[in-house]
Amino acid sequence: MGAERADGGLGPLAARARAELVREIAESGAFSADPRWRDAFADVPRHLFVPSYFIGVPGGYERLWGEDPDPRRRERWLRGAYADQPLATRMRDGELISSSSQPSLMATMLAGLGVRDGDRVLEIGAGTGYNAALLAHRLGPGAVTTVDLDPEITESARAHLAAAGYRVAVVTGDGVRGCPERAPFDRIIATVTLREVPGEWLGQCTPGARIMAPLSTGIVVLTVRDAAFAEGRFLATPAYFVALRGGGAPGAGPELGRLPRSLARDEGFRFVLTLVAGSGGADAREVLRVWEREGRPGRSRFGVTLDAGRVSVWLDDPAGPHVWGVPGDA
């Protein structure tokens, strides 16, 4: 599609809205680690990747789209495309199955990924293709592979990337398996919530590679030593993503019914309890005692170790007193 058709003739407004979004993200400090991400967000037209999306209204959802015959609704669509907020882009039977993440969170994650010139990156969860386009802008043609289980999502992402002029390998497949045919990778970034980091990914990484993945309601950043070992901590920021479909989809949340309502609703405690829920010995009340005794620690004090198929979650120190074993996928 042409740019004029894609923005409904609102090109100047799109440019202004994109510039304002970039300024807003810059104020958060997300570009300080690598200023080249500012150029990526300034150049990649997000509206080409969200030709339509859904917004919540009383009783359901309203769809906004770039070819709406009503010029006021087209303007609403365009302004929303450049708002610093997640956008629900695909619904199925009332369930959200794909979205475009909040741009400031995307910038935080991309900066934390620590890419270098020449890196090859695997993205798990193609979404709209926007995140892959930002990576391709930074790293160049052929450096980025994005994988998604849903052929409708990959077809759409492929079309969006082509319309915006970015060369990315878009693969339809189960992200739990990674993408062995295009390995090895220097960075793996997941944009869907996982139950655990699949061990298969480590074998597709170069030594010293970095894996960034949403777990529970946080984002862990692991450094890969070899095909059997990786370790790292969570970012401080909370994060909420659509769950990965397929073999690595998160299981049901932990039972919170026996806890006081205030704790069951406490976002920080829910993060910790969900994170360690896979451990057969992780009793909710014991986790609560540790959490309160340690001063209700935030996400950045927690970390994850993958070691030969064994997975552990820890507080402060992987060799410290607060380590919970979680069944791995090996």
Q: Which residues are catalytic?
A: 98
The runs of H, that is alpha helices, within the chain are 3-6, 11-27, 36-43, 71-81, 103-113, 130-139, 151-164, 199-202, 261-264, 267-275, 284-293
Count helices and strands in the chain by DSSP H and E runs = 11, 14
Amino acid identity, position 224: V
178: phi > 0 → left, psi -120 to 50 → alpha, else beta; which? left
C-alpha torsion sign, points 102, 245, 61, 59: negative
Phi, psi angles (nearest 5°) of residue 229: -140, 135
Q: For residues 133 and 164, is the Cβ–Cβ distance under 8 A? A: yes
Q: For residues 115 and 138, is the Cβ–Cβ distance under 8 A? A: yes
Q: For residues 286 and 293, is the Cβ–Cβ distance under 8 A? A: no
Q: What is the CA radius of gyration of the chain?
A: 20
DSSP H or E stretch at residue 207: strand 205-215
Q: Tokens for 33, please give them.
A: 């680690």
Q: For residues 161 and 168, is the Cβ–Cβ distance under 8 A? A: yes
Q: Where are the beta strands (DSSP E) in 93-184?
A: 95-100, 121-124, 144-148, 169-172
Tokens 């790292």 -> residue: 232
Phi, psi angles (nearest 5°) of residue 149: -75, -30
The CA distance from 18 to 311, in Å, is 41
